[in-house]
Amino acid sequence: MTKTLFTNIKILDCTGAEPYAGEVLVEGSHIAAMARDGKTLPRDGVDVIDGRGATLMPGLIESHAHLSIENAADLVQIGMIPPEETTLIAVKNAKLYLDCGITSCISAAAAKPRTDVVIRNAINKGEIPGPRLLAASPWLTVTGGLGDARTLHMPHMSSMAITLDGPDEFRRTTRELIREGVDIIKLVISGDTFVPHAPSHSTVMSEAEVAAAADVVQAHGKRMSAHARSAGSVKLAVKYGVKVIYHANFADDEALDLLEANKDWVFVSPNIGFTATASYEGEKWFTEQQVQEFGFREELAGAAKGLKELKKRGIRILGGGDYGFFVTPHGDNARDLDHLIRYCEFTPMEALLSMTKHGGAAMDLPNELGQIQPGFFADLLLVAGDPLADPKVLLDRSKLLAVMKNGQFHRRPG
């Protein structure tokens, strides 16, 4: 069994405790022991890594991954790429995420039905490098909902969505996707900013449709996630057991109460990266007039207000999200840490926990992932700098001296 000892390091264990000097011993795929207060661990037969004062922290956990899309400018562009090229895109992005210190991903939709499944299986077999991955279906949307790219005169246009109507269609397609091996069924319950006939505050899926998908998911022991911006969509998501709720930026008091009452199992992944970037750093893509017309700053202010309330109520917030689009390219995922601090009054520690400790719990591995503790998976980053003092250091790959997943180096120091 391979043994690796990290010494001369500052340990940021992401339990919520302040960093401390110490040592960490990895045996096989897990953390075996830790020492602090000047104590040392055995060196015999061990690969010793001198951290030279760098910070050792858990690998980052992306809560809203789209590995199979390529920094797309529109949804039709995604849909028109053939499955073979889509798979190659996902292979490339899986390695990129690991390069960026992202060691786990909760997929928030694949561009094709089996893409995530194939990538997950290849990663697990060691055939390609990539983060541990929960594989998702494409979006399941309704006629006129987000992702329905069809028109009456062009009925075969596609995006990254499967368009369904009525409980029977949702039930059948959910069964098919679970048969093909997905871990997560992704529902598009609300509208969105860029859908004029289905705006963000609207709830486009019926309760019967959500319930039909939920019945199948629960019968097979799988899980659901949901695009849910509107208050009504958040309420449906909680009622039918959606574990990770994306956005939730129009949640009303009743929706907030429901989230709080179920905070032991539900998570909110707000995904404000696109909106924050478009609001104040989007000159490359949007004119000032467009920023105002789309209401990006108002949307960001509303999301920030809601996130402050969610945090106050103890609802776990997940970082990262919706990277892989033209405003939010793959690899910039850790920018969300700064967004949470800058716009939502998170402390640096609270922001880091959104992509470590809380991410591990959202992966259904609360006692094995997202923290540096004995018995946890050895998914680790050795960082030249202090992520608490400046979380943006995590965006600089040259500062990621080591990336370890499952006790194996993806990037070795020196």
41/72 same-domain check? no
> What is the pLDDT at residue 156?
72
pLDDT range class, residue 113, cuts 50, 70, 90: very high
| Domain-embedded: residue 347 | no
**Is the pLDDT reported for residue 293 higher than 90?**
no
Least confident of 16-20, 50-54, 262-266, 276-280: 276-280
Radius of gyration of the chain (CA): 21
29/119 same-domain check? no
256/307 same-domain check? yes
Return the CATH number at 406: 2.30.40.10
| Domain-embedded: residue 329 | yes
Cβ neighbors of 98 (< 8 A, separation 6 or more) are 129, 130, 131, 403, 405, 410
Cβ–Cβ < 8 Å for 358, 264: no
Query: Mean pLDDT throughout 380-405?
Result: 97
> What is the pLDDT at residue 200?
87
| Domain-embedded: residue 248 | yes
42/77 same-domain check? no
The pLDDT tens digits of the residues spanning 177-232 come to 999 999 999 999 999 987 888 888 899 999 999 999 999 999 999 999 999 999 99
How do strand 30-36 and strand 20-27 relate by DSSP bridges? antiparallel
**Is the pLDDT reported for residue 42 higher than 80?**
yes
Tally of domains within the chain: 2
Cβ neighbors of 77 (< 8 A, separation 6 or more) are none
225/276 same-domain check? yes
Query: Mean pLDDT throughout 125-139?
Result: 98
pTM: 0.96
> What is the pLDDT at residue 376?
98
Cβ–Cβ < 8 Å for 34, 23: yes
Query: Mean pLDDT throughout 331-352?
Result: 96
Note down the domain range covering 85: 60-333
**Is the pLDDT reported for residue 321 higher than 80?**
no
> What is the pLDDT at residue 228?
97
Rounded to an integer, what distance in angstroms lies between the CA atom of residue 246 and that of residue 271? 7
154 secondary structure, DSSP code: B
CA distances from 356 to 14, 99, 186, 240, 334 (A): 7, 17, 22, 26, 11
> What is the pLDDT at residue 76?
82
283/153 same-domain check? yes
| Domain-embedded: residue 88 | yes
E strand spans, 250-328: 267-269, 316-317
15/45 same-domain check? yes
192/236 same-domain check? yes
Cβ–Cβ < 8 Å for 379, 103: yes
CA distances from 266 to 3, 14, 359, 400, 406 (A): 36, 20, 12, 31, 26
84/21 same-domain check? no
382/244 same-domain check? no
Query: Mean pLDDT throughout 351-367?
Result: 98
Rounded to an integer, what distance in angstroms lies between the CA atom of residue 193 and that of residue 284? 19
How do strand 102-107 and strand 55-58 relate by DSSP bridges? unpaired
> What is the pLDDT at residue 306?
92
**Is the pLDDT reported for residue 237 higher than 90?**
yes
> What is the pLDDT at residue 266?
98
**Nearest residue to 121 via CA among 181, 66, 174:** 181
29/145 same-domain check? no
pLDDT range class, residue 148, cuts 50, 70, 90: confident
**Is the pLDDT reported for residue 158 higher than 80?**
no
> What is the pLDDT at residue 73?
81
Tokens read off for 268: 């909110």
391/260 same-domain check? no
Helices (H) and strands (E) in the chain, counts: 13, 18
